[in-house]
Amino acid sequence: MPSSHLRTGRVRLHWLFVLIVLIAVMPMFALYFSRLQSNREHALAEARAHAADLAGDAASVQAGIAMKARHLLEMIAQSPALRGTIEECESYLTWVQYLTQSSTAEVTGLFVMDPAGKGICGTYPNGRSVDVSDRPHYRQVLDTRNFVTSEIVIGRFSKRPIIAALLPVLNAKGQIEFILVLGADLDRLNEIAADARTKFNGLLLVLGNDGRVIANLPKLDDGEISHRFDEPAIIDEVLHANAPIVEAVDHAGVRRIFGVKELPNGQTVAVGLDREAVLAPVEHAFRADLLFLLLVAISNDFSLRRLGPRRWKIAAMLD
């Protein structure tokens, strides 16, 4: 009977130990869970702000290219070297390009084109062979007779993704005498996209107002810029955003936080961050906290279970 009584007591004591351990860890679990929720909201708020900042930076790069290119082309247009010999023209343009190498938007090429879109002179040895008459932005210059910037295109000589800026120079009769063309490199835009990709598996989209994908960055492995983004629902969400931040889900179920910025030319820049990647560090820290809490609970249970039988033995000896 005493032995049966002792075993029953041990079972009761074991569950008492379990209850004590649970009571001890429950406040810690509640604290960890509350901290998880707080950290998740904080991480998402930071990600939304970061996406908006990146979109703003990208839009500034786009707008800055146009502003700087126009200023530079207007300055170049005043030089008499453009109306001199071909050698004088090419020497002057090469000198100007050299001076701009330290600028934010690196100039990849400068050209003087005739009204038919054929090269007169340029910074490339074979610049006189260039022909831009098939480019939409060339036709836009002829129609508007004003400064124009292109969509993102691949430079025919630089073979790099660029934005072309074109300025028509008019003669005394108001006719187009020639057209100045500048290619501006997009490395800074790609750097923004690469930063988003590295941190949060992000991407940068430049969209036309008709939904065309002008650029999907970062660049591909071969250095090319993709013009494909097969997510019409996301594109529609971005183009019709009524706020600087939107969230959208792609066909694979990946939810992205997009910072959206509309450009003066009607294009839209959007930087999308993977929501799961944003929350991953927070959830990793939560799992580490839970593991620590579990180890503490097991350790306490083990200690109490070892201490308990000793007390029962002492009690049995006293009986």
> To which residue do tokens 């126009």 refer?
70
Task: For the chain, list residues with pLDDT below 70.
Answer: 1-33, 36, 102-105, 127, 286, 288-319
Q: What is the per-residue pLDDT for 281? A: 82
Convert 181-219 into a string of H (helix), E (strand) and C (coil).
EEEEECHHHHHHHHHHHHHHCCEEEEECCCCCEEEEECC
Return the pLDDT at 289.
64
Element housing 271 (H / E):
strand 268-274
Query: What is the pLDDT at residue 28?
Result: 63
Q: pTM higher than 0.75 for the full model?
A: no
Provide the pLDDT for residue 318. 43
* C-alpha closest to that of 63 among 206, 263, 262: 263
- Classify domain 77-185 by CATH number: 3.30.450.20
211: left (phi over 0), alpha (psi -120 to 50) or beta: left
Cα 19 off chain centre by? 50
The structure tokens 């660049």 sit at 219
For the segment 162-199, what is each residue's pLDDT rounded down to a tens digit?
Answer: 888 999 999 888 899 999 999 888 778 888 888 889 88
Angle between helices 187-200 and 275-318 (to 10 degrees): 20
Let me know if the fold of 46-62+188-277 is the same as that of 77-185: yes
**Beta pairing class for 245-249 and 213-217:** unpaired
| CATH placement of domain 46-62+188-277 | 3.30.450.20
How far, in Å, are 149, 191, 214, 239 from residue 161 at the CA level? 14, 13, 11, 23
For the chain, domain boundaries: 46-62+188-277, 77-185
Report phi then psi at 77, rounded to 5.
Answer: -60, -20
**Cα 134 to Cα 168: distance, rounded to the nearest angstrom:** 17
Residue 317: burial class (beta carbons within 10 Å; 0-12, 13-18, 19+): exposed
* Residue 240 to residue 234: CA distance in whole angstroms: 10
